[in-house]
């Protein structure tokens, strides 16, 4: 298997495997936010704000995987 094939395969695996963790994490965050909202619909503002903030943190890890995949294809 030559280097070019390996690079493309590595890019695909990187993005695919790197999206599993953040996906599950964002789902757990959403579940927590829905439960909190169900218990206390009046606290919608702070709950949504904090949920968006936490989702951005979790998504950043998936973005790191995307950056590595893009670097593998276009730069390396």
At CB < 8 A and 24+ separation, what contacts does 53-59 make? 54/29, 55/26, 55/29, 55/30, 58/22, 58/25, 58/26, 58/29, 59/22, 59/26
Q: Please give the biggest Cα pair distance in the chain.
A: 59
As measured in angstroms, the least distance from the Cβ of 66 to another protein is: 5
The region of 1-9, 17-25, 31-39, 67-75 touching another protein under the rule CB under 8 A is 67-75
Is residue 60 close enough to count as binding another protein by CB under 8 A?
A: yes
List C-alpha distances in Å: 4 to 14, 70, 72, 73. Answer: 15, 14, 10, 9
Q: Which of 6, 20, 70, 76 binds another protein (CB under 8 A)?
A: 70
The region of 3-11, 21-29, 35-43, 58-66 touching another protein under the rule CB under 8 A is 58-66
Which residues make up the interface to another protein (CB under 8 A)? Answer: 46, 49, 52-53, 56, 59-60, 63-64, 66-67, 70-71, 74-75
């Amino acid at each position: 298997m030559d280097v070019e094939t390996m690079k493309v395969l590595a890019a695909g695996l990187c993005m695919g495997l790197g999206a599993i963790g953040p996906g599950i994490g964002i789902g757990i965050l959403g579940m927590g936010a829905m439960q909190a909202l169900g218990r206390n619909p009046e606290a919608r503002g702070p709950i949504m704000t904090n949920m968006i903030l936490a989702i951005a943190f979790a998504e950043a890890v998936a973005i790191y995987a995307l950056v590595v995949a893009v670097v593998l294809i276009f730069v390396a």
